[in-house]
Amino acid sequence: MNREERFVKQITPKSEDFSKWYVEIIRKAELADYAPIKGMMVIRPYGYAIWENIQHLLDKRIKETGHSNAYFPLFIPESLLEKETEHLEGFAPEVAWVTQGGKEKLEERLAVRPTSEAIIGNMYAKWIKSWRDLPVLINQWANIVRWEKVTRPFLRTTEFLWQEGHTAHETLEEAEKETLLILSLYKEFVETELAIPVVSGSKTEKERFAGASETYAIEALMSDGKALQMGTSHNLGQQFSKVFNIRFEDRSQNLQYVWQTSWGVSTRLVGALIMSHGDDSGLQLPPRVAPVQIVIVPISIGNWKENVLPQAREIEAQLKREGLRVKMDDREEFTPGWKFSEWEMRGVPLRIEIGPRDIKENQAVAVRRDTREKESIGLEALAQRVPEILKNIQTSMLEAGLKFQLENTHEVTSYENFKSILKSERGFIKAYWCGNQSCEEKIKEETMATVRVVPLEQDKQKTREKCVCCGKDSEVRVYFARAY
Ligand SMILES: [Zn+2]
């Protein structure tokens, strides 16, 4: 066995043990490492660069829709957090508390933010006086702490990074419009930039955010057939404004409580990239978020440093001029084969090989990470052809995801069928549900599947449909799945 084979073989095949494969990819691609604190991770530079690309692309959309960024404190006084009881009850088991500052015991405990509704609500009560102050459209990029019992890098860690939007509006309609705007913004962002297709819709009452009157979510199917919640958008109604006394004088000079929303996505999206696109050779990154979009590997034969390297450097400079993220791998201690497998592990979308023979023919060879297709390209055409190939990779990764989602979405009418699918193949199950929590709970208990989303657009059926669990009349078809 040669060295490059060994590099790849150190990974457990995905089909053999998905969770083991997942953590091994994170380690081998140097995305993150375990911290010396239980449940916490260190995001390494390569993993953080993916997050920065996600941030950049999403932040642009958040600002284009009229929002501004701000920053609120990490600590939330207990008295503020406990104002909204439902909210506190929802988060209480996961809150980390600060009880001492220096040598002094604090008079009031401080929560390390599990989310920022309470502290932001407190400030909005000061800032909002009149309808002229509305809407308030603020987003925060921050870290969050939730004391989780079972953790997994990027998917569930005690501390994670996210953005949280918090808006206040004059009317319920405006708040609902904002909630749905963000839901569609998230969907477009994840599908366009991460090449991961999602389903979207509302959450059931049982799965709703603590304190929200309506929660919407986008969910994607990971390649093991389990669903992952990728982002949520909440219509908070007046629940928080009543508790935090956020009032404004309306257009007819009456005092009213504002209508609020909150919404977020987190570093969990990095986990989604791994689980959606990765394979037995490692990570596979969509070009739009890949820290390195193209790696150039000069073939080290003979006096390659004189014959090949200058041309390889010229290609590097040319592609950089096109605004592409390019890496030149001219390390001498590794063979080209070793380098190929290492960059495949790191999920670089496109590799360019150039050797003495290519120089003679005035060309280079481009190899796609997703399909492994090879293409010889004349040197003069590279700067034009490479961006096209990257665009094709981005599109075909989304197409592959859509195909996978379609093949793994089962329309089911019998509960027996429902159970057997979850046992054998998983995936999304589209089935009618009567809307009763008793059926939702029974299904969860017996199959471990939950209602992931209730799609906003229901296909209007003329015929009467039956709940997959109890058989009662049902008009609503929902997505069930086992989820992370
Ligand atoms: Zn039912």
The tens digit of pLDDT for each residue in 218-269 reads: 999 999 999 999 999 999 999 999 999 999 999 999 999 999 999 999 999 9
Average pLDDT over the chain reads: 94
Query: CA geometry: angle at 267 spanning 214 and 72, to 5°?
Result: 70
- The residues, ordered by sequence, that sit 6+ positions from 194 with a Cβ below 8 Å of its Cβ are 54, 269, 272, 273, 276, 286, 288, 289
Spatial contact of 144 and 159, defined as CB atoms under 8 Å apart: yes
Q: Distance, CA 411 to ligand 1 centroid (Å)?
A: 17
Question: Is 1's pLDDT higher than 50?
Answer: no
Q: Distance, CA 456 to ligand 1 centroid (Å)?
A: 19
Helices vs. strands in the chain: H and E counts, helices first: 16, 25
Q: Distance, CA 454 to ligand 1 centroid (Å)?
A: 15
Q: Distance, CA 421 to ligand 1 centroid (Å)?
A: 19
Distances in Å between the Cα of 276 and the Cα atoms of 18, 196, 221, 225, 230 are 12, 7, 8, 10, 12
Question: Is 412's pLDDT higher than 50?
Answer: yes
Q: Distance, CA 298 to ligand 1 centroid (Å)?
A: 63
What is the DSSP track for 11-78?
SPPTTT-HHHHHHHHHHHTTSEEE-SSTT-EEE-HHHHHHHHHHHHHHHHHHHHTT-EE----SEEEH
Q: Distance, CA 225 to ligand 1 centroid (Å)?
A: 24
Q: Residue 283 — left, alpha, or beta (φ > 0 → left; ψ -120 to 50 → alpha)?
A: beta
Question: How is residue 24 written in tokens?
Answer: 């091994």
- The amino acid sitting at 421 is I
Q: Kindly list the protein residues that place their beta carbon closer than 5 angstroms to ligand 1, a single-atom ion.
A: 434, 439, 467, 469-470
Q: Distance, CA 436 to ligand 1 centroid (Å)?
A: 6
pLDDT at 392: 98
pLDDT at 9: 57
Question: Is 460's pLDDT higher than 70?
Answer: no
Distance, CA of 59 to CA of 402 (rounded, Å): 25
The tens digit of pLDDT for each residue in 56-98 reads: 999 999 999 999 999 999 999 999 988 887 777 888 889 999 9
- The arithmetic mean of pLDDT across residues 50-58, rounded, is 98
Q: Distance, CA 216 to ligand 1 centroid (Å)?
A: 22
pLDDT at 4: 52
- The residues, ordered by sequence, that sit 6+ positions from 68 with a Cβ below 8 Å of its Cβ are 137, 138, 139
> What predicted TM-score, i.e. pTM, was given to this entire model?
0.95
